[in-house]
């Protein structure tokens, strides 16, 4: 502590939301995995005498980083009940009471120093086993990554599965490679024990992962120890398989369950709106069913709607839970997505309201129950009693409540209680102010509407109060001045006749004005209909040259955009199949109809790949795309797919054609396949058959991966020239293809032999993908 105080590091606190904190935790996670691999390898195989010094230097470097990590976590802020805690005392108190502290402290305990005293001849590598305790904190690091990067859940889960498989394969493989006992077929061969470290590590990973995944049965164990170890590996493999399937299915359900149902309904709605030309008001109600019900939110522009909806916060309530209570201060309004919400008013308030309504009704005035009135706060003990509450309204899906708190500081005028479990969406005053800052014109319109509504409410309240005062004064005067009241009633009767006549005259004028407005509206609608029909006919007979569409900007999800995506998707699959085929089976460098046609199509695809960057970079955000996408086209393209398109479009083979010619220089074209799921998603965005389109996309990718596996297999077999058969023999049961299928002329190969090559590679790939392939000679 004195050293930290001297270096002015005693009060340093690290923010958990900073990118530097996330980078440091990710770096320490990678070091933890590397340390696990090193320590386990040293314990099982030992350290060669010539490598002792370098091994100890690496171990010291690891310890320095983990000591810094100990200091980092002792001053790392954290969240508690949604609040960020940045107090050094609370942070240290929480850290020193956590299991992470005990694991880190035990991991830093220098047991390996004993080996420095014993020398390189008598080393005990198991003294470094305490460092494996640091692996306990790895799941917490991964959980932080998943919570921070929710849009990368699938990728993070896949990385997690790969790391878990690597850890287990490394553990069992190291034990198998250094298993003690009499030499037999189950044990590693003597040649493997004397091989180079790279081959040894590949062999141990292959053996352990093959046994756990049941892809390789291996040889039968003979001794008791071998049988026990093999059973343990098989059981762990079964649990690993269940772990993998569970994680993948969990991700699929989390990512796709809601989106599938949403995409199905959204696609059906788009087809409905595209087929039927509905009035604008009905179309707005279908697109924004909740927002159009709110008076001051209706009629917004698309950009305002998207930003406002992005500010919504989901709130979950259980049965009989109060959303808010009468008299509370609030600044949020709520939309009911699912469930039922009851609006409750104290019984005393309701009785006062009904008595006032009776008084007003006796005077012939409108009922007060049609207006919203805030009453004084009653006794809190009465407000909490369920027997004192009366339900006055019931809100279901699509309703909203609490909107007064967005613009005023008045307390809540009623209770809101969940009758069932509800999913609500909350809009806060702060979120609305953010939208106001971005769209000041819309702010002025909303405030104008709200002011009008408040003025109307104020006039209604003043009218009711005036009527109550008139009623009270009239009753008092009736008791004290009966004679004067009779004269006043006669005078009021005469005035009522005149007022009625004037009222009828005003109603006649209003009827004539309303009929004139209705006639004017019909004329405007007829004119607009004629203009729209004229525009549709003009668009129908107007022809655009497709070259102009390529050179100019086009709208997203337009007809040309969909056709372009189909062409690019087909070109992507063709290049993903042709380039590996040329590198493995046939270079197609000879003259002939098929090689020339293949090269022409390949050059065309290369041009299309370059042009595709221009098209997507200049893609416009039209009216349709504003409804289908949350972000701008260029921003999304630049962030997600641009760098892949650039790498795939670089003509490396043409640049180096004067120095070196090889199909390997075209392999960058296959990178375009990473964007293929996006192309299929955009092509089928309006389709209702979501499951069918997803099924075909997965099958196309699966076939391409099988093709790549076949090409990689045949390329590897061609390089190693490993075959156990004699020339001319066609034994398909061996790992490598027959020599007769490999020793053919590249300048003029026969079609039968090319087909034999391709089928041999496809046979290996198809059987390997179902874990029945030949994995050993």
Please state, in angstroms and rounded to a whole number, the distance separating the CA atoms of residues 396 and 622.
Answer: 35
CA 39 and chain centroid, separation: 37
User: Which band of pLDDT confidence, cut at 50, 70 and 90, is reported for residue 570?
Assistant: very high
Instruction: Provide CB contacts within 8 A for 76, sequence distance 6+.
Output: 13, 14, 16, 21, 91, 95
Query: Which two three-digit tokens encode residue 611?
Result: 């042009």
For residue 169 the two structure tokens come to: 């394969």
CA distance 737 to 758: 11
How many CB atoms within 10 Å of residue 731?
A: 12
Q: Is 339 left (phi over 0), alpha (psi -120 to 50) or beta?
A: left
> How much is the pLDDT for 113?
79
CB atoms within 10 A of CB 308: 21
- Which residue did the predictor score with more confidence, 84 or 358? 84
Question: Which residues in 103-139 are b (16+ Cβ under 10 Å) and which e?
Answer: bbeebbeeebeebeeeebeebebebbebbbbbbbbbe
Q: Would you call 55 helix, strand, or coil by DSSP?
A: helix
- Torsions phi, psi for 342 (to 5 deg): -100, 140
- How many angstroms separate the CA atoms of 34 and 191, rounded? 27
- Overall pTM surpassing 0.75 (yes/no): no
The stretch 704-720 carries a mean pLDDT of 83
Average pLDDT, the chain: 75
Averaged pLDDT for residues 641-649:
89
User: Which range, of 243-252, 350-359, 464-473, 499-508, averages the lowest pLDDT?
Assistant: 499-508
Say whether 315 sits in a helix, a strand or coil.
strand
pLDDT score recorded for residue 577:
92
Q: Are 74 and 4 in contact (CB under 8 A)?
A: no
Burial class of 204 by CB neighbour count within 10 A (0 to 12, 13 to 18, 19+)? buried
Q: Which domains does the chain have, with CATH numbers?
A: 1-148 (no CATH), 151-276 (1.10.287), 293-443 (2.60.120.10), 549-769 (no CATH)
**Listed residue (77, 127, 128, 133) closest to 104, CA to CA:** 133
pLDDT of 372 strictly over 80: no
Determine how many CB atoms are found less than 10 A away from the CB of residue 526.
10
pLDDT computed for residue 574 by the predictor: 93
415-453 pLDDT, tens digit each = 899 988 888 888 888 888 887 787 777 777 777 777 776
* Residue 572 pLDDT level (bands cut at 50, 70, 90): very high
Determine contact, residues 42/128, Cβ cutoff 8 Å: yes
């Amino acid at each position: 502590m004195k050293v930290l105080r001297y270096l002015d590091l005693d009060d340093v606190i690290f923010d958990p939301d900073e990118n530097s904190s996330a980078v440091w935790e990710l770096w320490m996670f990678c070091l933890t995995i590397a340390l696990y691999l090193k320590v386990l390898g040293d314990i099982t195989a030992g350290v060669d005498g010539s490598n002792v010094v370098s091994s100890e230097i690496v171990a010291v470097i690891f310890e320095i980083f983990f000591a810094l990590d100990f200091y980092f976590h002792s001053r790392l802020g954290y969240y508690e009940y949604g609040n960020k805690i940045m107090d050094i005392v609370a942070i240290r108190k929480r850290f020193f009471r956590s299991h992470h502290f005990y694991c880190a402290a035990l991991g830093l305990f220098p047991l390996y120093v004993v080996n420095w005293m014993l020398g390189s001849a008598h080393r005990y590598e198991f003294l470094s086993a305490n460092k494996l305790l640091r692996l306990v904190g790895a799941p917490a690091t991964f959980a932080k990554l998943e919570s921070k990067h929710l849009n990368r859940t699938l990728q993070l889960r896949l990385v997690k599965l790969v790391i878990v498989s690597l850890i287990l394969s490394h553990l069992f493989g190291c034990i198998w490679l250094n298993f003690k006992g009499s030499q037999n077929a189950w044990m590693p061969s003597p040649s493997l024990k004397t091989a180079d470290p790279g081959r040894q590590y590949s062999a141990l990973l292959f053996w352990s992962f093959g046994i756990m995944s049941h892809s390789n049965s291996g040889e039968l164990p003979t001794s008791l120890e071998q049988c026990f170890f093999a059973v343990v590996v098989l059981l762990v493999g079964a649990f690993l398989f269940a772990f993998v399937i569970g994680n993948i299915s969990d991700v699929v359900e989390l990512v796709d369950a809601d989106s599938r149902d949403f995409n199905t309904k959204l696609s059906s709605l788009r087809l409905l709106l595209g087929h039927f030309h509905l009035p604008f008001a009905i179309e707005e109600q279908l697109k924004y069913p909740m927002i159009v019900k709110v008076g001051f939110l209706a009629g917004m522009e698309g950009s305002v709607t998207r930003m406002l909806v992005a500010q919504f916060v989901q709130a979950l309530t259980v049965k009989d839970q109060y959303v808010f209570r009468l008299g509370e201060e609030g600044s949020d309004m709520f939309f009911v997505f699912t469930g039922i919400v009851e609006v409750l008013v104290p019984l005393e308030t309701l009785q006062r309201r009904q008595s006032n309504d009776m008084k007003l009704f006796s005077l012939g005035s409108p009922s007060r129950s049609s207006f919203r009135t805030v009453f004084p706060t009653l006794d809190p003990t009465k407000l909490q009693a369920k027997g004192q509450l009366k339900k006055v309204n019931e809100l279901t899906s699509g309703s909203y409540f609490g909107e007064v708190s967005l613009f005023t500081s008045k307390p809540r005028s009623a209770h809101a209680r969940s009758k069932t479990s509800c999913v609500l969406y909350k809009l806060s005053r702060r979120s609305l102010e953010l939208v106001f800052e971005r769209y000041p014109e819309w702010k002025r319109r909303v405030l104008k509407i709200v002011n009008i509504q408040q003025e109307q409410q104020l006039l209604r309240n003043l009218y009711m109060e005036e009527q109550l005062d008139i009623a009270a004064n009239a009753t008092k005067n009736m008791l004290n001045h009966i004679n004067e009241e009779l004269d006043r009633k006669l005078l009021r009767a005469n005035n009522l006749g005149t007022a009625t006549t004037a009222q009828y005259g005003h109603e006649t004028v209003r009827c004539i004005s309303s009929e004139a407005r209705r006639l004017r509206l019909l004329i405007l609608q007829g004119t607009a209909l004629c203009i729209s029909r004229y525009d549709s006919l003009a668009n129908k007979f107007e022809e655009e040259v497709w070259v102009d569409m390529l050179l100019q900007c086009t709208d997203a999800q337009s007809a040309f955009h969909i056709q372009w995506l189909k062409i690019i998707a087909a070109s992507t699959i063709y290049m993903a199949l042709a380039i590996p085929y040329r590198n493995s089976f046939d270079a197609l460098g000879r003259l002939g109809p098929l090689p020339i046609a293949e090269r022409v199509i390949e050059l065309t695809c290369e041009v299309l790949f370059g042009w595709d960057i221009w098209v997507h970079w200049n893609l416009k955000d039209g009216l349709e795309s504003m409804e289908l996408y949350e972000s701008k086209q260029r921003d999304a393209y630049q962030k997600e797919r641009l760098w892949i398109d650039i790498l795939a479009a670089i003509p490396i083979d043409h640049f180096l054609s004067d120095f070196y010619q090889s199909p390997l220089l075209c392999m960058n074209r296959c990178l375009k396949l990473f964007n293929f799921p996006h192309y299929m998603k955009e092509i089928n965005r309006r389709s209702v058959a979501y499951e069918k389109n997803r099924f075909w996309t997965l099958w196309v990718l699966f076939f391409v991966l099988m093709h790549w596996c076949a090409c990689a297999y045949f390329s590897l077999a061609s390089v190693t020239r490993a075959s156990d058969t004699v020339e001319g023999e066609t034994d398909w049961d061996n790992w490598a293809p027959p020599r007769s299928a490999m020793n053919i002329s590249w300048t003029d190969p026969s079609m039968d032999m090319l087909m034999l090559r391709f089928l041999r590679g496809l046979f290996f790939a198809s059987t390997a993908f179902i874990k029945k392939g030949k994995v050993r000679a």
